[in-house]
Structure 1
Amino acid sequence: MEEGTSQDTTGSRRSDRIKLNVGGKLFETTLSTIQSGGSDSLLAALSNRGPADHEPVFIDRDPEIFSVLLSLLRTNRLPSTARRFSKQELAEEALYYGIDAQLKSAMSPPPFVGIDASIVSTIRPASEGLPSTFTAAADDGSVWIAHGGQISSYDWNLIHAVTIRTHLDDINSVSRVWPEIAAVGSESDAGLHFYDFSGSRHVGSVHWIDSSDPRIFKARVNAITGSTNSVFASFYCPHRENCILEVDKSTLQIVTQLGRQSGNQAKNMVPGKLTWIPETGVVVGSAITSGAFGYSGYIRIWDPRSGEVVWETNEPGAGRSSRFGDSFSDVDVEVEGLTLFKLCSKSGDLAMADMRQLGDDPWIYLQEKNPSLASTGGGGNSVIHCYRGQVFVGREGNLEVWSRREDVKNEVDWQNGESVDLCRRNFVDKKEDSERGIVKKIEGGGDRLFVSREDVEGIEVWESSHSSGVISVL
């Protein structure tokens, strides 16, 4: 009886093994290992052979890369030998075997922490290397880069997927409205245009027209944002008339018109930045201009359901700022936290406002207690981007991040409109990074931060190291 049991166990162990001949090299592993790639993978399918078939399964592929992928299935990590191959080589082989999800998990960067981020690569499109704008996917860190009249798509692995040549000369705004479709606006061509990356084709256009008003012609797009069902785009005409159009995603038809105005004054300029707030269903828009007398502009919140403005502030001159005369040079929204942020043009101070408690003067100014890190003044030529509870600020060539202090309790005392030990400010970049050029745009996607600089080719890719610790953020 014991002998029979022993034989059954041995047979069971043998039946759990499988031999693979990959490109002439023999591999032996367990069925559980190759089935860990998922039931739909090629390897799992090859494991479903009859028990009498003991010949190695032949696969006409590269054995060296297969060795890397087999190690990935065993440990859920890539071995050091993976460095011998390019990301594209690994991605192509993983896709062939049907284990691309496992490779993506192993190759994806760790959770993004701004204070521990560094440049890992620079994406340079093959032609027209100076990017005019870009947009990143929040879920996987893929990115679409506009350069000249073209848009190049790079996947989660930052491998070039496709380049679309549009009918536009210059692209100044691009937004991902579906996984494979971009909404595009141009400085030199009228209309909002939609392009499908999967088919590399133009799928439609939307124009702002008004037969009763001859001033409404050749309306161009300045900013784009999207909700689940709609696309919002700010249009402006040569005579400076402007508005925001809501466009239905499924039909590409105009649903409603918001905030029509004549932009002869700063408080009536076309919005240069739009943000959709899913939790409240409103659109936040801002417009900023600078001249001999400094910066001026507005922040305005529209409710598309009523078509009305539900809150606004104009700087300077509206009396809605406790620092009168120090108007903002850039604005952004922390969507998850329902928080507005602005950067003051003269002092360089960063201020925040809770969107749930907006009033005449909702701003709280963040303080930096460390004298060596305190702002030396001047917020001009600066940009803000809120991502994953962190606020990134590009000042000239410097890149910094504001995050919540680890040792501060949730209940924070506020005094005289200034935060007390709430946040800390850190430089993200090194000196050599800041000398690359003036930061023009910052955008987060997945666990990456993308940065473009004035007159510098390509888009910088920033990632945190795997040793980065978890911190509490805004």
Structure 2
Amino acid sequence: MAVVNSSNTPEPHNNNRIKLNVGGKLFETTVSTIQSGGPDSLLYALSNRPTHDPNPIFIDRDPDIFSVLLSLLRSNRLPSTASRFSKQELADEALYYGIESQLKSAMSPPPFQGIDASVVSTVRPAADALPSAFTAAADDGSLWIAHGGQISVYDWNLSHSSTVRTHLEDITSIRRVWPDVAAVGSDSSAGIHFYDVSGARHVATTHWTDSSDPRIYRAQVIAISDSPGSILASFVCRHKENCILMIDKSTLQISSELGRQSGSSSKTTVPGKLTWIQSTGLILGSSVTSGAFGYSGYIRMWDPRSGGVVWETNEPGSGRSSRFGDSFADVDVDAEELCLFKICSKSGDLAMADLRNLGEDPWVYMKDSSHNVRNFSEGGNWYGGNTIIHCYKNQVFVGSEGGLEVWSRVEERERGLNEGLYKRNYVDKVEDSERGLITRIEGGGNRLFVSRQDVEGIEVWESSSFSGVVSVL
């Protein structure tokens, strides 16, 4: 409603109230409530529209969903009636009214704590549902899944947005390098390929070539990472020559080549993991191989400015110290805390090193005082095979066979590295561990995503402590 003041200038509404007719149902609320959606929202614009018409403003939308969104604007929480609607229905209406950010905040999971996490859903692509690779956005937990030669895109509420068919038969590595662009690699096709998932189009392909070396031919991508200005990719040729290429994001042209080597031994195989460490500007790569005599591999750091190696360790080899014969099964880095972690292949012990103080044997082995260890055989040997490690939100997640555990910090970092700095707990239940071999773990937003061998879809893990937010799952 609007009234006219003495100067004949229409005022938007009397007594800070506004009436809305949504789909034939009358709502009355305050101007401040509907303006809480922000100046770019539709409701804010309607509240500022001067009018002499005493009739309520008509909006031809679903009144029941509007009631939920109005309650959200009043309290910053979703009411219990929200459970009547799907997440997609709520998201579509919130987008129409321009209050998607408020809905996103209310529906987002709480801060992720591994010790309180549980499986809340499984994201399954509609076709070719066995995922071959996936990547999660760190900011909002959206997910892109590669299955076969396709990429299925899921937004912040894990609703399916689109599926893009690529020219590849299969995708074995994927990285989100821009909000709408994926960098992908394939075991059956040479080069690193860039796809715009919003426009469903192939953007470019970059190859590793060297006209002076005939062995550099049809190089395939094994691992992909990125920095603000560059894309990092490890390439390997059929004759095992390999390197790391830095590709300029603005041109998608190769800017430099690092660490060319021939993969004739475990010390020179192609890096299977790459991480750019922002605070130091260094690139960390690792490679693990397993055979009849156990695990072996290397961890290496390059300075892209000089192209040289600034630190490395090989196992078996340098850095083995008293842990000779118990080489790592996997490696990951907490880039924010500048901590390097490895999981030992025989004992299952977690070791930690300070990236600011690396030497010949920098490892501190975490002491696990708990007695609820599940992964022991009758002979007392830990099942160290098929083990992966992932650092996320100052926690270290370990997937061993089908089991998932978390190492959480229990002491302040200011005291330095010590064996009691982290404590181990199991994230999963026994029935969770029986779903299949864990093949990949990745964090995004306040979620953890887990894939398993020969199992359809990606598991979504969230903290079970919702801090008063009502779930609409």
TM range (shorter): over 0.9
Q: Residues 410 and 191 from structure 1, CA distance in 2 versus in 1: closer, same or farther, beyond 3 angstroms?
A: closer
2:384 paired residue number: 379
Matched residues in 2 for 1:158 and 1:313: separation?
40
Deviation of 1:465 (Å): 2.3
Q: Residues 446 and 413 from structure 1, CA distance in 2 versus in 1: closer, same or farther, beyond 3 angstroms?
A: closer
Matched letter for residue 99 of structure 1? I
Secondary structure, aligned partner of 1:130: coil
Q: Residues 183 and 118 from structure 1, CA distance in 2 versus in 1: closer, same or farther, beyond 3 angstroms?
A: same
Unmatched segments (≥5 aa) in structure 2: 1-10, 377-381, 469-473
Matched residues in 2 for 1:128 and 1:18: separation?
51
Matched residues in 1 for 2:450 and 2:61: separation?
38
Q: Is the 8 A contact 1:392 1:399 kept in 2?
A: yes
Does 2:407 align with 1:402?
A: yes
Matched residues in 1 for 2:150 and 2:433: separation?
28
Matched letter for residue 92 of structure 2? E
- CA displacement, residues 435-463 of structure 1 (integer Å, 9 cap, x when unaligned): 11111100000000000011100000011
2:393 paired residue number: 388
- Aligned counterparts, 1:77-226, within 5 A: 77-226=77-226
Does 2:424 align with 1:421?
A: no
Matched residues in 2 for 1:396 and 1:93: separation?
43
Does 2:75 align with 1:75?
A: yes
Q: Which stretch shows the higher mean deviation, 371-380 or 197-206?
A: 371-380
Matched residues in 1 for 2:145 and 2:427: separation?
23
Matched residues in 2 for 1:294 and 1:197: separation?
41
Matched residues in 1 for 2:419 and 2:278: separation?
30
Matched residues in 2 for 1:309 and 1:421: separation?
31
Name the TM-score, length of structure 2 as normaliser.
0.93
Q: Residues 330 and 301 from structure 1, CA distance in 2 versus in 1: closer, same or farther, beyond 3 angstroms?
A: same
Q: Is the 8 A contact 1:116 1:468 kept in 2?
A: no
Secondary structure, aligned partner of 2:189: coil
Secondary structure, aligned partner of 1:74: helix
Matched residues in 2 for 1:18 and 1:384: separation?
55
Matched residues in 2 for 1:302 and 1:338: separation?
15
Q: Is the 8 A contact 2:12 2:48 kept in 1?
A: no
Q: Residues 235 and 226 from structure 1, CA distance in 2 versus in 1: closer, same or farther, beyond 3 angstroms?
A: same
1:435 paired residue number: 434
Q: Is the 8 A contact 1:303 1:309 kept in 2?
A: yes
Matched residues in 2 for 1:49 and 1:343: separation?
62
Q: Which stretch shows the higher mean deviation, 365-374 or 143-152?
A: 365-374
What percentage of residue pairs aligned between the two structures are identical?
71
Q: Is the 8 A contact 1:412 1:420 kept in 2?
A: no
Q: Is the 8 A contact 1:221 1:234 kept in 2?
A: yes
Matched letter for residue 443 of structure 2? G
Secondary structure, aligned partner of 1:68: helix
Deviation of 1:413 (Å): 7.7
Matched residues in 2 for 1:345 and 1:330: separation?
8
- CA displacement, residues 171-227 of structure 1 (integer Å, 9 cap, x when unaligned): 111111111111110000000010111211110010011111111111000001000
2:246 paired residue number: 246
1:3 paired residue number: none
Q: How many residues align?
A: 453
Does 2:336 align with 1:336?
A: yes
Deviation of 1:340 (Å): 0.6
Unmatched segments (≥5 aa) in structure 1: 1-10, 470-474
Matched letter for residue 103 of structure 2? L
Secondary structure, aligned partner of 1:326: coil
Does 2:312 align with 1:307?
A: no
Matched residues in 2 for 1:375 and 1:413: separation?
30
Q: Residues 369 and 219 from structure 1, CA distance in 2 versus in 1: closer, same or farther, beyond 3 angstroms?
A: same
Q: Is the 8 A contact 1:230 1:247 kept in 2?
A: yes
Q: Is the 8 A contact 1:206 1:253 kept in 2?
A: yes
Matched residues in 2 for 1:12 and 1:147: separation?
53
2:27 paired residue number: 27
Name the TM-score, length of structure 1 as normaliser.
0.93
